Amino acid sequence: MSSLAPMSANGEQPIPNRLVSLIQCSKNIAVGSTITSDSLKTVRVTQKDRPPDAIYDRWIAIGRKATKPLTKGQVMHFSDALSPDLLEASNRECIMRMQGDYSTRTEDIDRSIYALIPILRSAHDIPAGATISAVDLVTDQIKEVNCPGDSVGDLWVVEGRKAIHPIKASEYIYYHDAIPPAEWRKWLEGKY
C-alpha cells in the first residue's frame, strides 16, 4: 500500500463510503441456465471511494500531456491525461469498460470480490501541458472490498437471461455474466 493519502480528483479528502445495491447469487447457476428471481438476492454493500473515471493502467497516461496541474498524491483521472477526442462519450465508455474488466476480473476462475485494484496517482507535482512519463506515476494498490465497477445493481438487467458461464452461490453478478457482449451497447443506450 502506498503511503500517499487518498484524495479525490480535486485534491480534497474522499467522500465517505456509501451504501449501494448489488445483485448476488443465492444458489449455484449452471452455464446456459435461465437466471430467475429465486436464484438472486439484492444486497446492500459499502462502496469504497474509487472514482469511476480514475486511471488503473499506466499505458493510459504515459506519453500523454496533463490537461491540468496535478498535485503529488492526487488520483489520476481520464480527463487529466487524455486528449478531448478520446473523452467522447462512446470512446470513454469503452475505455472505462475495459478498465473495469481488466481490474476486477483476471480470469473466470478467479473472480474474487477481494481483488487488489491499482489506482494511479501523481508521484510529484505535474504542471498542465507536461508530458506524463513513468516516473510521474505511482501505483497505489487498494483492496476493492465489495463493489466492483461492472457488477449488476438491478434485477432486470439479468433476470430472465441465460448465464454465459457458471456462477457460484454468494458471488456477485456482473453484466457480462448474463448479457452477450454484442448486446452491451444496447444496454448502455437504454434499449432494453
**Helix spans in 105-191 (H):** 175-178, 184-188
pLDDT value of position 96 = 64
Measured distance CA(47)–CA(39) in Å, rounded? 23
Residues 6-51 pLDDT 10s:
444 444 444 455 677 889 999 999 999 999 999 999 988 766 666 7
0.75 exceeded by pTM: no
pLDDT value of position 109 = 35
Residues 91-135 pLDDT 10s:
776 666 655 554 444 443 344 445 667 889 999 999 999 999 999
For residue 71, is pLDDT > 50? yes
The continuous run of DSSP H or E covering 21 comes out as strand 18-25
Contact 61, 191 (CB under 8 A): no
Pick the more confident residue, 84 or 33.
33
Measured distance CA(138)–CA(162) in Å, rounded? 41
Residues 124-170 pLDDT 10s:
999 999 999 999 999 887 766 556 667 888 888 889 999 988 999 98
pLDDT value of position 100 = 53
The continuous run of DSSP H or E covering 20 comes out as strand 18-25
pLDDT value of position 128 = 95
pLDDT value of position 141 = 78
Q: What are the two backbone dihedrals, phi and then psi, of residue 156, each rounded to the nearest 5 degrees?
A: -65, -20
Q: Where are the beta strands (DSSP E) in 31-175?
A: 40-47, 115-122, 137-144
Measured distance CA(23)–CA(37) in Å, rounded? 10
For residue 175, is pLDDT > 70? yes
- How far, in Å, are 57, 68, 137, 153 from residue 82 at the CA level? 13, 11, 15, 29
